Amino acid sequence: MLSIDPSTRRLPGPLRALEHRSFRLYFFGQAVSILGSWIQQVAMAWLVYRITGSAALLGVTAFAALIPQLLVGPLAGAWIDKHDKRRWLLRVQGLLAAQALVLAGLTWMGWVGPGLLVSMALLLGVLNSFDTPLRQSLISVFVERREDLPNALALNAMLFNTGRFVGPPVAGLLLGLTSEAACFALNALSFVALFVAVASVKVPAMPRAQGTVGDVFKEGLAYAWHTWTVRMLIIVLMALNLTASAYAVLLPVFAAEVFAGDARTLGLLWGAAGCGAFGSTVFLATRRSVPGLIGATTLGTALSAVALLAFGWTRLLPVAMGAMVILGFGISVCNVGINMLLQSMAPDRLRGRIVSFFTWARFGFDALGGLLAGFIASAIGPGRTMILEGVVLLIFAAFLASRRTRLMGLVARHDSGGA
């Protein structure tokens, strides 16, 4: 890694990772791509609910889009550590663009139905199982100073949450003016920006893992299981995303039935959560203490639980939007903070695998939670479902608080160079 005197920095501390040209190109290409992806996600949810009116099918579709992260993700990380990450990221971007374009064409011709939508969501999930760890593991190569990696990860998350804040309201407007097919086509076009950005950067040769995919996977699994901090952080991800992150599946039901709205109401609710998530990444980008992220994660878990309870209880849209802001903040602080912690601790040779374990817990348990929430809501209603998940998460937040001191001590020891 290159070492640059802090006195030569040209950008403020919260933006310091943008001083690296490779990361800067990736950052702006990713900004366009993420906006398109959020527009497609909202359009897909609205299309499923418009065609079927089924909360359960919303859960099934969300499950199909995320379950490959649970089944394929960990092995994808091992496979990634054996190959040229930059080359394969470019190839995956092309496949993602093709998926969105085919979905646009099928929707425009009126050939979509529940089975086809679930199949297309499943294909997207398989591609994302490789895309997410590829992008995340390359960020460490795009910044030359290792101490700037947590900031780069926070800025990358800021992009995701900016898209989450801007994309849903834009999608709501587009759905009112055009159609779902137009949203899918726009997403296909957005992948070009990231493709061009990544193709424009030069990255140093990276060591590749040796041995079979199975052996490489076992090595990474042994590290994650026997390192208590890593194991505990992954358990937090599992609990949070099984409960709090599942809210997204039920938002179309709340928008249409609880708040008597339309696609624009859905966009406002999703955008409110994105607003809170954006605020969390601004907060994280200013953090310089890695051990301090443990306290932020504990607080975020508790806030998410309280927000779930408030959202499930209220029937007033302004109160619901306020709860969504808090929920978006809490979920993002936890997910992004844990990603920063894991990548700060991960050895370079294991980075792809550790990132894949993160995405396995983050998106795989989001898939399980979404499926579960859809079926529970069909039985007891969306409001009671959110309240039930809030109670479960609040109990887990108390458990996490009891482990906070030990976690902070071990992370501080690692951050200072201890074993």
Q: In a 10 Å sphere around its CB, with 0-12 CB exposed, 13-18 middle and 19+ buried, how is residue 380 labelled?
A: exposed
d(CA 224, CA 186): 39
Per-residue pLDDT at 5 exceeds 70:
no
Q: In a 10 Å sphere around its CB, with 0-12 CB exposed, 13-18 middle and 19+ buried, how is residue 318 labelled?
A: exposed
CA distances from 248 to 75, 112, 154, 284, 311 (A): 27, 22, 22, 23, 12
Per-residue pLDDT at 183:
95
Nearest alpha-carbon partner for 125 in 374, 335, 366: 366
Mean pLDDT of 287-295: 80
Q: Are 23 and 159 in contact (CB under 8 A)?
A: no
Query: Does 2 fall in a domain?
Result: no
| Residue 386, both tokens | 């959110």
Identify the residue with better confidence: 251 or 14.
251
For 331-369, write each residue's pLDDT tens digit.
Answer: 999 999 999 899 888 887 788 888 889 988 988 888 788
Per-residue pLDDT at 288 exceeds 80:
no
Query: Does 3 fall in a domain?
Result: no
Per-residue pLDDT at 409:
87
| Residue 181, both tokens | 């097919």
Mean pLDDT of 88-102: 96
The mean pLDDT of the chain is 87
Per-residue pLDDT at 277:
87
Query: Does 390 fall in a domain?
Result: yes
Per-residue pLDDT at 6:
46
Per-residue pLDDT at 331:
94
Per-residue pLDDT at 150 exceeds 90:
no
d(CA 158, CA 287): 14
Mean pLDDT of 263-271: 83
Query: Does 6 fall in a domain?
Result: no
Per-residue pLDDT at 8:
47
Helices 149-177 + 21-52 axis angle, to 10:
40
Residue 370 pLDDT grade (very low, low, confident, very high; cuts 50, 70, 90): confident
Residue 44 pLDDT grade (very low, low, confident, very high; cuts 50, 70, 90): very high
Residue-range definition of the domain harbouring residue 394: 15-415
| Residue 40, both tokens | 């497609």
CATH of the domain at 383: 1.20.1250.20
Q: Are 41 and 320 in contact (CB under 8 A)?
A: no
Lowest mean pLDDT among 7-21, 29-43, 128-142, 274-288: 7-21
Per-residue pLDDT at 233:
95
CA distances from 67 to 77, 124, 126, 160, 251 (A): 15, 10, 8, 20, 20
Share of the chain above pLDDT 70, in %: 96
Query: Does 182 fall in a domain?
Result: yes
Query: Does 210 fall in a domain?
Result: yes
d(CA 323, CA 199): 41
Query: Does 104 fall in a domain?
Result: yes
Query: Does 10 fall in a domain?
Result: no
Mean pLDDT of 289-293: 79
- Residue count of the chain: 419
Per-residue pLDDT at 9:
55
Per-residue pLDDT at 320:
93
Task: For residue 205, give the 3-state DSSP assignment.
Answer: coil
| Cβ neighbours, 10 Å, residue 405 | 10
Burial 209-245 (b: 16+ CB within 10 A, else e): beeebeebbebbeebbeebebbebbbebbbbbbbbbb
Q: How many domains does the chain have?
A: 1
Per-residue pLDDT at 3:
39
Per-residue pLDDT at 261 exceeds 90:
no
Per-residue pLDDT at 417 exceeds 80:
no
For 296-316, write each residue's pLDDT tens digit.
Answer: 999 999 999 999 999 999 989
Per-residue pLDDT at 4:
42
Most confident by average pLDDT, 129-143, 148-162, 226-240, 253-267: 226-240
d(CA 402, CA 396): 10
Amino acid letter for position 217: F
Residue 208 pLDDT grade (very low, low, confident, very high; cuts 50, 70, 90): confident
Residue 252 pLDDT grade (very low, low, confident, very high; cuts 50, 70, 90): confident
Lowest mean pLDDT among 47-56, 97-106, 220-229: 47-56
The one-character DSSP state at 10 is -
Most confident by average pLDDT, 197-206, 211-220, 298-307, 332-341: 298-307
Per-residue pLDDT at 416:
65
